[in-house]
């Protein structure tokens, strides 16, 4: 059955068009003027049509889970954090663990990490865990430390830090792999609950205009397969599994693809986060003189990369600091990963020219999160040193493009909101919380920013001949919005999603 959308402005590489004809799930023709016959005509009331938007780095399970947790929303002080914790704990007396997200010491007037004592003043009878905005640091109360058997003599796990004061007493701060000490106590194992969480996350994604997600969700393949089988996936899902998923009895085979669902890559972590000062740097942080945390030694990282390649999967590796990027690129090179395999370096926040040159040589895709500029720009110079040469390669999206590095855009939600329009706006304007432009030389055009979330996302999942553009023989994935964001991108943040179409069907 053919359908025709008309009375609208349709964004294409060759300019705006007036109508689009699709049959079932495939675009047949896009044009101007008189339109061809169709079985059904859809009048879009003068609104604007853009290609379906793709989030190339998101955690759908984490997003759905966070929607049901305490949302701290970056409190401005320790006392505000305590007030929110107090209200939540009163309303949720049945919870065995109180878990919250999204504090950031750089946004708080106290300018310090919260401590176990801060939490104990509010809740001392139940364990509490509050994640920093990056999810690479958490703070727990004394009850949690007791349950976790963390004391003065407890040693740091490999790749993690249990912070202690000058008397070797744990402060309540856990960094990187030290957070895994909590995992067994808070993880949700009930299948139905986990399926509900994923469904909640997917629904949020379609509401903000996403037609595809490339999601990092461990141990979720079986759930996604069931959702696909029951026609319950509202959007396309390219699942990235974790290394330990390779040991599971139920896991995808390399290059699995079942209608809306696919999986062809495995995720590794090379370091932590810049805000938590656990991103691995070549030179010390300017404000602490720490070097960050390398999750693996070089030999171990080499072995993991090679193992994943030999298992037939593509690589996606989290690397925020320049040292982490250097280590990952060495591992890619040692494993003889080819350009055709399109390895992915996720985040790429601190680079250097030699690293960019190596990325170009190896055909590495830069998977970037433009919203991080908005969040991080108010403190990144404090971390790296004002005027430091490495700032030149911090969040350097334009530099990557100028060096012919393919880029794909993502939100890293729930770290940031999953709204792709917010990411496009951040890439174009690079404004900090004070509405000032940070490093304007790295601003992208609207076309470049849109491409990140369309063509770039399609390239990252090897579907560039089917997705990312509104043209003949491509899938009918598109969104309808109420503003001409192509002509007036300054209005992006006030733009309303009117409709979302995936595979020729209206999903929102």
Residues making up the chain, counted from first to last: 508
DSSP alpha helix (H) spans, 394-444: 397-402, 420-429
E-strand stretches of 308-404:
314-319, 344-347, 365-368
Q: Is 166 in the same domain as 121? A: yes
Boundary of a domain, candidates 186, 213, 242: 186
How many domains would you assign to the chain?
Answer: 2
Q: How far is CA 420 from the centre of its chain?
A: 11
In a domain, 108, yes or no: yes
Q: Is 165 in the same domain as 88? A: yes
Q: Which residues form the domain of 22?
A: 2-45
DSSP result, 96-140: SSEEEEEE-GGGSTT-S---HHHHHTT--SS-EEEEETTSSEEEE
CATH number, position 107: 3.10.310.70
SS3 assignment, position 268? strand
Question: What does each of the 508 residues of the chain score in pLDDT, given as a tens digit?
Answer: 899 999 999 999 999 999 999 998 999 999 999 999 999 999 999 999 999 999 999 999 999 998 889 999 999 999 999 999 999 999 998 889 999 999 999 889 999 999 999 999 999 999 999 999 888 999 999 999 999 999 999 999 988 999 999 999 999 999 999 999 998 799 888 899 999 999 999 999 999 999 999 999 999 999 999 999 999 999 999 999 999 999 998 889 998 899 999 999 999 999 999 988 999 999 999 988 899 999 999 999 999 999 999 999 999 999 999 999 999 999 999 999 999 999 999 999 999 999 999 999 999 999 999 999 999 998 999 999 988 889 999 999 999 999 999 999 999 999 999 999 999 999 999 998 889 999 999 999 999 999 999 999 999 999 999 999 999 999 999 999 999 999 999 999 999 999 999 999 999 9
Q: Is 181 in the same domain as 93? A: yes
Q: How far is CA 480 from the centre of its chain?
A: 23
Q: Is 29 in the same domain as 108? A: no
Q: Is 96 in the same domain as 181? A: yes
d(CA 223, CA 229): 10
Q: Is 30 in the same domain as 84? A: no
In a domain, 88, yes or no: yes
d(CA 325, CA 106): 25
In a domain, 132, yes or no: yes
In a domain, 426, yes or no: no
Boundary of a domain, candidates 151, 186, 221: 186
- 318: nearest Cα among 334, 295, 284, 302: 295
Boundary of a domain, candidates 186, 220, 246: 186
Q: Is 23 in the same domain as 100? A: no
In a domain, 441, yes or no: no
Q: Is 171 in the same domain as 83? A: yes
In a domain, 159, yes or no: yes
d(CA 212, CA 221): 16
For residue 247, give every residue at least 6 positions away whose Cβ sits within 8 Å of its Cβ, in sequence order, or none.
Answer: none
In a domain, 219, yes or no: no
Q: From the CB of residue 157, how many other CB atoms can be counted at a distance below 10 Å?
A: 15
Q: Is 169 in the same domain as 107? A: yes
In a domain, 351, yes or no: no
d(CA 8, CA 21): 13
- Measure the CA angle with vertex 488, ends 483 and 492; round to 5°: 60
């Amino acid at each position: 059955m053919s359908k025709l959308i008309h009375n609208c402005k349709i964004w294409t590489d060759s300019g705006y068009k007036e109508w689009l004809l699709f049959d079932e799930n495939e675009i047949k023709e896009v044009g101007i003027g008189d339109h061809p016959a169709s079985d059904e005509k859809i009048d879009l009331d003068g609104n604007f049509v853009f290609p379906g938007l793709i989030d190339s780095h998101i955690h759908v399970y984490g997003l759905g889970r966070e929607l049901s947790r305490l949302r701290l929303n970056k409190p401005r002080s320790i006392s505000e954090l305590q007030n929110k914790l107090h209200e939540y704990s009163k309303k949720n007396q049945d919870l065995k663990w109180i878990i919250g997200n999204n504090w950031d010491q750089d946004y708080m007037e106290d300018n310090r990490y919260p401590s176990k004592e801060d939490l104990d003043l509010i809740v001392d009878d139940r364990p509490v865990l509050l994640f920093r905005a990056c999810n690479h640091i958490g703070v727990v109360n004394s009850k949690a430390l007791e349950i976790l058997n963390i004391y003065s003599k407890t040693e740091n796990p490999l790749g993690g830090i249990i912070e202690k004061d000058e008397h070797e007493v744990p402060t309540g701060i856990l960094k990187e792999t030290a957070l895994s000490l909590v995992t067994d106590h808070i993880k949700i194992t009930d299948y139905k609950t986990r399926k509900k969480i994923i469904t909640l996350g997917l629904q949020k994604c379609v509401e903000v205009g996403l037609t595809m997600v490339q999601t990092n969700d461990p141990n979720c393949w079986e759930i996604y397969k069931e959702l696909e089988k029951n026609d319950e996936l509202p959007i396309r899902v390219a699942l990235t599994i974790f290394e330990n998923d390779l040991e599971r009895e139920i896991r995808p085979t390399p290059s699995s693809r079942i209608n809306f669902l696919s999986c062809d890559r495995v995720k590794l972590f090379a370091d932590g986060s810049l805000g938590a000062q656990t991103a691995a740097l070549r030179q010390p942080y300017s404000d602490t003189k720490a070097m960050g945390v390398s999750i693996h030694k070089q030999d171990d990282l080499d072995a993991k990369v090679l193992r994943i390649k030999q298992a037939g999967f593509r690589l996606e590796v989290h690397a925020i600091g320049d040292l982490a990027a250097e280590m990952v690129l060495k591992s890619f090179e040692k494993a003889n990963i080819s350009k055709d395999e399109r390895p992915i370096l996720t985040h790429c926040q601190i680079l250097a020219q030699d690293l960019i040159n190596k990325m170009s040589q190896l055909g590495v895709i830069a998977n970037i999160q433009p919203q991080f500029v908005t969040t991080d720009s108010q403190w990144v110079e404090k971390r790296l040193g004002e005027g430091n040469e490495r700032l030149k390669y911090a969040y350097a999206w334009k530099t990557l493009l100028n060096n012919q590095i393919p880029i794909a855009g993502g939100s890293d939600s729930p770290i940031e909101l999953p709204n792709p329009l917010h990411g496009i706006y951040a890439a174009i304007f690079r404004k900090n919380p004070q509405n000032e432009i940070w490093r304007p030389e790295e601003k992208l055009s609207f076309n470049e920013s849109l491409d990140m979330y369309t063509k770039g996302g399609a390239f990252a999942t090897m579907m560039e001949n089917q997705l990312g553009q509104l043209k003949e023989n491509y899938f009918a994935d598109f969104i309808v919005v109420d503003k001409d964001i192509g002509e007036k991108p300054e209005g992006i943040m006030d733009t309303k999603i009117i409709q979302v179409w995936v595979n020729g069907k209206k999903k929102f």
